[in-house]
Amino acid sequence: MPMTRRALVRTAAALIPAIGGFPQIGRAANRAFTYGGSAWLGHYSAYIAIKTGIFAKKGLEIKWQSFPTSSDRMGAVMAGSIDLAGTGVVSSLALMAAGATQFKVIATPNNFGRAEGVLVRPNVAGIAQLKGKKIGVTFASSAHVLILDLLKQAGMNADSDVSLINLPAPNLLSAYQGNQIDAAVAWTPAFDRIKTLPNTRVLADDTSFSLYKEYNITPGPDVLLATTKLAKEDPAAIKTFLQGIFEANAMLSNAPEEAAKVLLEVTGLTLDEQVNTIKQTGWYSAEQQRGLLVAPGGFVTGMQKLSEMLVSLKQIDRAPVVRNWLDASYI
């Protein structure tokens, strides 16, 4: 199946009409809000803070709502049906490029480089050997950006040299096992599950991404979002939410085995796989956020470079000024 271009543009265009009126969020009295997440590691902090009572102890009632893709989650953000969310930045950049103003980037929870990558069979020794092969990947995702970048680095044409098959992340494992695809580009937990299959290896991960060495930016770094409406109506709730996130991050950093036990029910990984995923990820503290987002703001610079790359990869039409969507006042 040939790759469909402008995937992110269409995603953004589909979501913009849903902006329409937001439901009332004025819930400061009981401080109950909904967080949009998934089994991806970018949501570990929020899930732990919910399940261990970290948010509750701070007077916040946070309800968990799971979404299969970042695009689905961003649709809910745009519709105002969730208040807070984590997302790979690719989906949010597409909406920024389309001019959406219904959300603010409030933090980045982690740094990962080895929890997403290209999985192949042993006869594939390099990216160039993917020529003529079918590659399963979720379009409009960080994995999509990764494979486009790796193909470009290898001097290959994503439209003609390979067949990129658009598959939801949960379907990659079965498609790979059933030989419907020759390679898979996935993130955890699908990445970990495929990696354990016989005669399968990691050809490349996010550390091979063009922007990783210079800016420490993966193809889809994780960001935390709040709706603009919530930011106006209850900024104190956002500040308290982030306090809970960074408390959970401390648990992930200092007690990975304890944190892993909480996460197993949402990720479906084994305990060893879960602990390994936690340990190979950097969990930012509140103190680190200012250097990333404000001064000197290297993470924001990296996101800007990523948005420009998405233009060159023909995924969005223009690069938004990322800093216009950033609100670091809650840190």
Q: Which of 160, 181, 215 is the last residue of a domain?
A: 215
Highest mean pLDDT, choosing among 1-15, 29-43, 111-125? 111-125
Asked if 231 and 251 sit in the same domain, the reply is yes
- Kindly report the pTM of this predicted structure: 0.86
Domain match, 35 and 170 both: no
pLDDT-derived band at 296, boundaries 50, 70, 90? confident
- Average pLDDT for residues 71-83, to the nearest whole number? 95
CB 231 within 8 A of CB 35: no
Nearest to 278 by CA among 307, 302, 255: 255
Mean pLDDT of 70-75: 90
Answer yes or no: is 35 within a domain. yes
* 210 and 254 fall within a common domain: no
- The number of beta carbons lying within 10 Å of the beta carbon of residue 99 is 10
pLDDT value for 22? 34
- C-alpha neighbours within 13 Å on the C-beta side of residue 115: 24
* pLDDT tens digits, one per residue of 146-162: 999 999 999 999 999 99
Distance of CA 23 to CAs 35, 77, 295, 302, Å? 15, 11, 36, 34
The verdict on 273 and 191 lying in the same domain is: no
How far apart CA 331 and CA 329 sit, in angstroms, is: 6
In a domain, 305, yes or no: yes
**Residue 280 pLDDT > 70, yes or no?**
yes
Asked if residue 129 and residue 160 are part of one domain, the reply reads yes
Q: Is residue 2 part of a domain?
A: no
| CATH code, domain carrying 128 | 3.40.190.10
Please check whether residue 37 lies inside any domain of the structure: yes
**Full 3-state SS string of 134-186:** EEEECCCCHHHHHHHHHHHHCCCCCCCCCEEEECCHHHHHHHHHCCCCCEEEE
Can you spell out the DSSP letters for 256-291? HHHHHHHHHHHH---HHHHHHHHHTSEE--HHHHHH
d(CA 52, CA 36): 18
Instruction: Flag whether pLDDT at 25 surpasses 50.
Output: no
Out of 215, 244, 274, pick the residue that ends a domain: 215
Residue 320 and residue 223 share a domain: yes
Looking at the structure, tell me whether residues 105 and 246 fall in a common domain.
yes
pLDDT at position 9 is: 47
Which residue is associated with the tokens 């849903």?
18
1 within domain boundaries = no
User: 149, 184, 215 — which closes off a domain?
Assistant: 215
Determine, yes or no, domain membership for 331: no
Decide if pLDDT at 108 tops 60.
yes
Answer yes or no: is pLDDT of 322 > 90.
Answer: yes
Same-domain check for residues 107 and 134: no
Same-domain check for residues 102 and 225? yes
**Whole-number percent of the chain with pLDDT over 90:** 83
What's the pLDDT at 290?
87
Q: Are 184 and 135 in contact (CB under 8 A)?
A: yes
Residue 330 included in any domain = no
The whole-chain average pLDDT of the chain stands at 91
**Of 19 and 9, which is predicted with more confidence?**
9
Same domain, 102 and 251: yes
Provide the residue range defining the domain that includes 306. 7-111+219-325
**Residue 309 lies inside a defined structural domain of this protein:** yes
187 and 226 share one domain: no
| Residues 168, 245 share a domain | no
The pLDDT of residue 298 is 85
Residue 133 burial (10 A CB sphere; 0-12, 13-18, 19+): middle
Q: What is the pLDDT of residue 214?
A: 83
Q: How many domains does the chain have?
A: 2
- Crossing angle (nearest 10°) for helices 70-79 and 89-97: 50
pLDDT band at 297 (very low <50, low <70, confident <90, very high): confident
CA 156 to chain centroid, in Å, comes to: 26
